Amino acid sequence: MAQNTPPTKHKKLIDWVEETAKISQPDQIYWVDGSPAEKKRLEKRAVARGFFIPLDQEKFPGCYYSRSSPNDVARTEHLTYICTKTKDECGPTNNWMEPAEGHKKAAEILKGAMKGRTMYIIPFSMGPVGSPFSKIGIEITDSLYVVLNMLIMARVGQKVLDQLGAEGEFTKCLHSRADLDVAHRLILHFPEENSIVSTGSAYGGNALLGKKCLALRIASWQARKEGWLAEHMLILGIEDPKGKIEYVTAAFPSACGKTNLAMLIPPEGLKAKGYKIWTVGDDIAWLRTGPDGRLWACNPEAGFFGVAPGTNTKSNPNAMKTIQKNTIFTNVLLGDDLTVWWEDGEGPSPASGTNWEGKPWNPAFKDKDGKPMLAAHPNSRFTAPAGQCPSIAPNWEDPKGVPISAIIFGGRRERLAPLVLESLDWNHGVYLGATVASERTAAAEGSVGAVRRDPMAMLPFCGYNMGDYFAHWLEMGTSVAKPPKIFHVNWFRKDEKGKFLWPGYGENLRVLEWIVSRCRGEGKAQKTPIGFVPAKDAIDLTGLDLPAGVMEKLLEVRPDEWTGELDGVKTFFDQFGAHLPKELTKQLEALKERLKTKVAA
| Active-site amino acid positions | 256
3-class DSSP assignment, residue 534: strand
Asked if 504 touches ligand GTP (CB under 6 A), the answer is yes
CB of 218: closest distance to ligand SPV in angstroms?
Answer: 14
Closer Cβ to ligand SPV, 251 or 471, answer by number:
251
Q: Could you give the string, one character per residue 207-226, with x where binding to ligand SPV holds by CB under 6 A and - elsewhere? A: ----xx--------------
Residue whose beta carbon is closest to ligand SPV: 205
CA 546/CA 552 separation, integer angstroms = 11
Closer Cβ to Mn ion, 20 or 259, answer by number:
259
Q: What is the 3-state secondary structure (H, E, C) of 211-243?
A: HHHHHHHHHHHHHHHHCCEEECCEEEEEECCCC
CB of 232: closest distance to Mn ion in angstroms?
Answer: 6
Q: Could you give the string, one character per residue 312-351, with x where binding to ligand GTP holds by CB under 6 A and - elsewhere? A: ---x------------------------------------
The gap from C-alpha 533 to its chain's centroid, in whole angstroms, comes to 27
Q: What is the 3-state secondary structure (H, E, C) of 487-511?
A: EEECCCCECCCCCECCCCHHHHHHH
Asked if 205 touches ligand SPV (CB under 6 A), the answer is yes
Closer Cβ to ligand GTP, 255 or 566, answer by number:
255
Closer Cβ to ligand GTP, 441 or 597, answer by number:
441
Site size with ligand SPV, rule: CB under 6 A: 8
Asked if 252 touches ligand GTP (CB under 6 A), the answer is yes
Asked if 100 touches ligand GTP (CB under 6 A), the answer is no
Among 43, 231, 282, 283, binds Mn ion (CB under 5 A): 283
CA 293/CA 285 separation, integer angstroms = 18
Asked if 189 touches ligand SPV (CB under 6 A), the answer is no
Asked if 397 touches Mn ion (CB under 5 A), the answer is no
DSSP 327: -
CB of 406: closest distance to ligand SPV in angstroms?
Answer: 21
Handedness of CA 29, 33, 34, 37 (dihedral sign): negative
Closer Cβ to ligand SPV, 304 or 572, answer by number:
304
CA 474/CA 427 separation, integer angstroms = 6
Q: What are the backbone angles phi and psi of residue 294, rounded to the nearest 5°?
A: -100, 170
**Taking contact as CB under 6 A, which single stretch among the options 103-111, 181-189, 303-311, 366-374 is the one that binds ligand GTP?**
303-311
- Say if strands 135-141 and 171-176 run parallel, antiparallel, or are unpaired: parallel
CB of 385: closest distance to ligand SPV in angstroms?
Answer: 16
Handedness of CA 480, 237, 314, 318 (dihedral sign): negative
**Taking contact as CB under 6 A, which single stretch among the options 237-245, 306-314, 349-357, 509-517 is the one that binds ligand GTP?**
306-314
Count of beta carbons in the 10 Å neighbourhood of residue 152 = 23
Binding partner selected for residue 75 from Mn ion, ligand SPV, ligand GTP, none, CB under the kind-specific 5 to 8 Å limit: ligand SPV
Asked if 587 touches ligand GTP (CB under 6 A), the answer is no
Q: Could you give the string, one character per residue 227-266, with x where binding to ligand SPV holds by CB under 6 A and - elsewhere? A: ---------------------------x------------
CA 307/CA 75 separation, integer angstroms = 13
Residues contacting residue 405 through CB under 8 Å, at least 6 positions apart: 246, 247, 248, 484, 485, 516, 519
Continuous segment of H or E residues that includes residue 208: none
Among 53, 180, 255, 544, binds ligand GTP (CB under 6 A): 255
CA 63/CA 383 separation, integer angstroms = 10
Residue 465: what residue type? Answer: N
Residues contacting residue 461 through CB under 8 Å, at least 6 positions apart: 212, 216, 217, 220, 232
Asked if 260 touches ligand GTP (CB under 6 A), the answer is yes
Residue 81: what residue type? Answer: Y
**Taking contact as CB under 6 A, which single stretch among the options 16-24, 183-191, 204-212, 512-520 is the one that binds ligand SPV?**
204-212
3-class DSSP assignment, residue 195: strand
CB of 441: closest distance to ligand SPV in angstroms?
Answer: 14
* Cβ density class 217-242: b for 16+ within 10 Å, e for less: bbbbbbbbeeebbbbbbbbbbbebee
3-class DSSP assignment, residue 420: strand
| Contacts with ligand GTP, residue ranges (CB under 6 A) | 252, 254-260, 282-283, 306-307, 310, 315, 491-492, 500, 504-505, 508
| Contacts with Mn ion, residue ranges (CB under 5 A) | 254, 283
